[in-house]
């Protein structure tokens, strides 16, 4: 086991794969769903009060009577999607966590809402001028490497009608973490495993143009070792604009978050609203 562990202890090459899909893992996705559904936790989603504010703001800048069709990329268990549907949007949600999509579909049946959910990687969508609004919320855009971000932006552009808007948020460099190594022993069923496990967590920073950060979680159990690499990037106003405006989007507005608060140099996030 030590030889296998050694493989994971040093800083890996950029974009080295995880040993499994973090979001769609059978066990981890249970903890993620619980985190989503906890209204006062800021983890898998934001606190639910913020979701309410956010949906209210989006409904005000893109009223559902004029911007009818909304696509939610990385919709999770549908917490935003349900709220969007409640205020009058026709909603489609995409997510590649089976557990989240199953929960979202169950909610739709229970609430008799008409949201369409797809268990799908959002990098594979192929819509043509179907949506008035596309949202990608909670800094999911920034986890993608630059090549995938370019694919996503092109697909979102194609999916929007002329005059439609793309709304996304990203973390600013204020949120970049210091490099560190910590460990935690869990004798019980908890987030990373249902059997006793040791988790080694490292944060690595890279000096590439994209300010890439890796949070690496190595999970050791009596059954073996798993390693999850979670990548992130941080954006300034300038880097976000130069990236998205180099695509075909032309008009934009910037805010401090997806509830429409003002941006300042101290903001932890930037929310961009880009018009086709
Ligand atoms: C941080 S959560 C945010 C969920 C939701 N937008 C919110 O704010 O409540 C990110 C979500 O994106 C999904 N996701 C990540 N990468 C994805 C991909 N390539 N395709 C589809 N869904 C993805 C995850 O399964 C997860 O539900």
Residue 197, beta-bridge partner list: 186
CATH number of the domain encompassing residue 158:
3.40.50.150
Q: Are residue 215 and residue 240 in the same domain, yes or no?
A: no
Q: Are strands 160-171 and 131-136 parallel, antiparallel or unpaired?
A: parallel
- Write the burial class of residue 71 (CB in 10 Å: 0-12 exposed, 13-18 middle, 19+ buried): buried
Q: Are residue 206 and residue 92 in the same domain, yes or no?
A: no
Q: Are residue 144 and residue 185 in the same domain, yes or no?
A: no
Distance of alpha carbon 37 from alpha carbon 113, whole angstroms:
18
Q: Which residue is closest in CA terms to ligand 1's atom 9?
A: 45
Q: Are residue 104 and residue 222 in the same domain, yes or no?
A: no
Q: Are residue 79 and residue 200 in the same domain, yes or no?
A: no
Q: What is the pTM of this model?
A: 0.96
How many angstroms separate the alpha carbon of residue 115 from the centre of ligand 1? 17
Does residue 44's CB lie within 6 angstroms of at least one atom of ligand 1? yes
Q: Give the sign of the dihedral formed by CA 35, CA 40, CA 41, CA 42.
A: positive
Distance of alpha carbon 141 from alpha carbon 146, whole angstroms:
10
Atom number in ligand 1 closest to CA 138: 8
How many angstroms separate the alpha carbon of residue 44 from the centre of ligand 1? 9
Per-residue pLDDT of the chain in tens (276 residues, 90 and over written 9)? 888 899 899 999 999 999 888 999 999 999 999 999 999 999 999 999 999 999 999 999 999 999 999 999 999 999 999 999 999 999 999 999 999 999 999 999 999 999 999 999 999 999 999 999 999 999 999 999 999 999 999 999 999 999 999 999 999 999 999 999 999 999 999 999 999 999 999 999 999 988 899 999 999 999 999 999 999 999 999 999 999 988 889 899 999 999 999 999 999 999 999 999
Q: Which residue is closest in CA terms to ligand 1's atom 22?
A: 95
Does residue 141's CB lie within 6 angstroms of at least one atom of ligand 1? no
In a domain, 32, yes or no: no
Please give the distance of CA 110 from its chain centroid, rounded to a whole number.
Answer: 25
40 three-class SS: coil
Q: Which residue is closest in CA terms to ligand 1's atom 4?
A: 76
In a domain, 119, yes or no: yes
Q: Are residue 64 and residue 164 in the same domain, yes or no?
A: yes
In a domain, 85, yes or no: yes
Does residue 257's CB lie within 6 angstroms of at least one atom of ligand 1? no
How many angstroms separate the alpha carbon of residue 12 from the centre of ligand 1? 24
9 three-class SS: helix
Domains contained in the chain, number = 2
Instruction: Work out the angle at residue 140's Cα, subtended by the Cα atoms of residues 119 and 56, and round it to the nearest 5 degrees.
Output: 90
Identify the domain containing residue 200 by its residue range.
2-20+177-232
Distance of alpha carbon 196 from alpha carbon 215, whole angstroms:
22
């Amino acid at each position: 086991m030590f030889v296998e562990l050694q493989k994971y202890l040093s800083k890996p090459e950029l974009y080295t794969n995880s040993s499994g899909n973090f979001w769609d893992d059978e066990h981890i996705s249970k903890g993620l769903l619980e985190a989503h559904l906890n209204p006062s936790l800021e983890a898998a989603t934001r606190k639910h009060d913020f979701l309410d504010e956010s949906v209210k703001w989006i409904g005000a800048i893109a009223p559902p009577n004029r911007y009818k069709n909304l696509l939610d990329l990385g919709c999770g268990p549908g917490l935003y999607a349900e709220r969007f549907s409640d205020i009058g949007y026709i909603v489609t949600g995409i997510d590649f966590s089976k557990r989240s999509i199953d929960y979202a579909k169950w909610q739709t049946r229970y609430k008799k809402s008409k949201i369409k959910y797809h268990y799908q990687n959002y990098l594979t969508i192929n819509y043509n001028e179907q949506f008035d609004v596309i949202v990608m919320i909670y800094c999911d855009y920034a986890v993608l490497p630059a090549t995938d971000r370019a694919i996503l932006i092109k697909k979102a552009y194609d999916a929007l009608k002329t005059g439609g808007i793309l709304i996304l948020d990203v973390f600013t460099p204020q949120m970049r973490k210091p490099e560190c190594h910590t460990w935690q022993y869990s004798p019980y069923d908890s987030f990373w495993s249902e059997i006793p496990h040791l988790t080694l967590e490292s944060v690595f920073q890279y000096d590439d143009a994209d300010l890439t950060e890796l949070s690496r979680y190595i999970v050791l159990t009596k059954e073996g070792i798993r390693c999850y690499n979670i990548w992130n990037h941080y954006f300034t106003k300038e880097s976000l604009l130069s990236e998205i405006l180099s695509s075909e989007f032309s008009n934009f507005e910037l805010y401090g978050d997806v509830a429409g608060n003002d941006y300042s140099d101290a903001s932890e996030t930037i929310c961009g609203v880009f018009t086709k």
